[in-house]
Amino acid sequence: MITERPSPPLRAGERETLRAFLDFHRATLALKCDGLTDDDLRRRSMPPSALQLLGLVRHMAEVERTWFRKVINGEDIPLVWSDANDYQVAYDASESTRSGAFGAWQAEVEHSRRIEREAESLDVTGYQPRWGEHVSLRLVMNHLCHEYARHNGHADFLREGIDGVTGA
């Protein structure tokens, strides 16, 4: 599978630009996993870290679910991999498969896209209990760009350690 990565617009409105950059970062994570087997995707980074590419994909499914569905949409749902609201569980992908992790992540991305499209504006807010504040959709989209960018950096190193592939 070869992932297509969109190019963010050079001149566009705020919402279109945020949407495009978020999709760019989502596609970057998928690109880092292209062409790898389930075993490769479960390969751990250097000790003592147990970080794996599939663990990053699972983590980002939780991030999408939390910020868009739970915070902006106000849905009372558990995390994908933890009924106890433990975000660390997603990082352990030792028993995961590409289809399971990517299926969950892509489903959450589609929910996120729908919620963003249906929102009246970037000024729509939702309650973030961890911060004890209401936050805007604008902040959520920026935060997710930041979260993906950080973890895509981890994915760069993980991928290079698996087969030497760099870039993208």
Q: List Cβ<8 Å contacts ≥24 apart for 131-139.
A: 135/71, 137/72, 138/14, 138/18
Pair type for strands 125-128 and 133-136: antiparallel
Angstrom CA distances, 132 to 70, 74, 79, 122, stand at: 14, 14, 19, 20
Write out pLDDT tens, residues 99-134: 999 999 999 999 999 999 999 999 999 999 999 999
What is the percent of the chain where pLDDT is above 90? Answer: 84
pLDDT at residue 1 is higher than 70: no
164 residue type, one letter: G
Evaluate whether the domain defined by 14-163 bears CATH number 1.20.120.450: yes
The pLDDT score that the predictor gives to residue 140 is 98
| Cα atoms found within 13 Å of the Cα of residue 48, Cβ hemisphere only | 0
Domain ranges of the chain: 14-163
What is the mean predicted confidence (pLDDT) over 152-165?
94
Write out pLDDT tens, residues 74-99: 999 999 999 888 989 999 999 999 99
Q: What share of the chain is helix, strand, coil (3-state, %, to 5)?
A: 60, 5, 35
For residue 48 the two structure tokens come to 């003592």
What is the percent of the chain where pLDDT is above 70? Answer: 99
In sequence order, what are the residues at sequence separation of 6 or more whose Cβ sits closer than 8 angstroms to the Cβ of residue 35? Answer: 1
| Per-residue H/E/C for 90-147 | HHCCCCCCHHHHHHHHHHHHHHHHHHHHHCCCCCCEEEECCCCEEEEHHHHHHHHHHH
Angstrom CA distances, 64 to 2, 102, 163, stand at: 23, 13, 28
Helix/strand/coil for 151: helix
